[in-house]
Amino acid sequence: MAKYFYNDDMDTIQSIRLFHALSEAGVELSITEDNKAKLEYLNSYFTIPYSIKSEEKDLPNLKIFHEELPGCSFFDKKLSLVYPKEVFYYLKNRRPAKRYNKLFFQGTITEKRKKEIEKIEKTSVLKVKSFSSDSGRVFPIKCWDSSYYSTMAKFKFVFCPDGDFIWTYRFFEAIMCGCIPVIQNTCPLYEGFKYFTENDLHNLSYDEEIVKHNDLLFLKKYTLSYYEKN
């Protein structure tokens, strides 16, 4: 397979995960010197081969959308979110044997989210453990926030409120950590997954069968397993 230049600035999580997934699938990619530090940081956790751009042609049809519904394209493929399997298995293999029976949230706590968390605390049978943090918005932690994932994995449930759009990366991060998401609203990206809504707060129950179901569906829908075969 020919080597291609990954002609994107890699400023979004979606772009970084797609690069990782394509590399994992055997696509040889080069980057600009400006993006080298991001991959060097990621390679302290994973194995992502790359080279610095020389004469390679651009990766054909590379586009990444971060809108009401996310999407990406490359070659003749048009997909939604894409995650590398290496990330999934890295987190799956580090899931703890025991978890706190609490609802977890870490992220930017706006005034709106503060009210949402307070509402949940009054409604849920479980305690809410929330942390205000903007670390995931700044490089290099934006590439991989080890503390965030290791903390999330200690809990059974993760609150995944709507953000700029209904869908949120947190939903899929929770699944990779073996947690069960608790959402405000559903969207096409969540179809087929098992989760709880705010209407279920009085009856949250952690079930390993839900975790297994979500694991298998995540691998099927949001990794490039099928792409490697074609």
**Can the peptide bond before residue 84 be classed as cis, meaning omega within 30 degrees of 0?**
no
User: For residue 180, what pLDDT is reported?
Assistant: 98
User: For residue 1, what pLDDT is reported?
Assistant: 64
Q: What is the pTM of this model?
A: 0.95
User: Which of 42, 62, 82 is a domain's end point?
Assistant: 82
Q: Are residues 117 and 70 both part of a single domain?
A: no
User: Which of 82, 110, 135 is a domain's end point?
Assistant: 82
Residues 6+ away with beta carbon under 8 Å from 112: none
Torsion sign, CA atoms 159, 19, 150, 140: negative
Residue 159 lies in a domain: yes
Work out the angle at residue 48's Cα, subtended by the Cα atoms of residues 42 and 49, and round it to the nearest 5 degrees. Answer: 135
Residue 154 lies in a domain: yes
Q: Are residues 212 and 157 both part of a single domain?
A: yes
- Look up the CATH number of the domain holding residue 106: 3.40.50
Q: Are residues 156 and 117 both part of a single domain?
A: yes
Q: Are residues 103 and 195 both part of a single domain?
A: yes
User: Which of 82, 110, 139 is a domain's end point?
Assistant: 82
- Strand locations in the chain (E): 3-5, 28-31, 51-52, 57-58, 63-65, 71-74, 77-79, 100-107, 128-132, 155-160, 180-183, 196-197
Domain count, the chain: 2
Residue 226 lies in a domain: no
d(CA 64, CA 25): 18
Q: Are residues 106 and 145 both part of a single domain?
A: yes
Residue 230 lies in a domain: no
The tens place of each residue's pLDDT in the chain, 230 residues long, gives 689 999 999 999 999 999 999 999 999 999 999 999 999 999 999 999 999 999 999 999 999 998 889 999 999 999 999 999 999 999 999 999 999 999 999 998 989 889 999 989 888 889 999 999 887 888 999 999 999 999 999 999 999 999 889 999 999 999 999 999 999 999 999 999 999 999 999 999 999 999 999 999 999 999 997 444 44
Tell me how crowded residue 69 is: count the other CB atoms within 10 A of its CB.
14
In the DSSP assignment, the letter for residue 59 is: P
Residue 227 lies in a domain: no
Q: Are residues 14 and 126 both part of a single domain?
A: no
User: For residue 92, what pLDDT is reported?
Assistant: 98
Domain containing 30 equals: 3-82
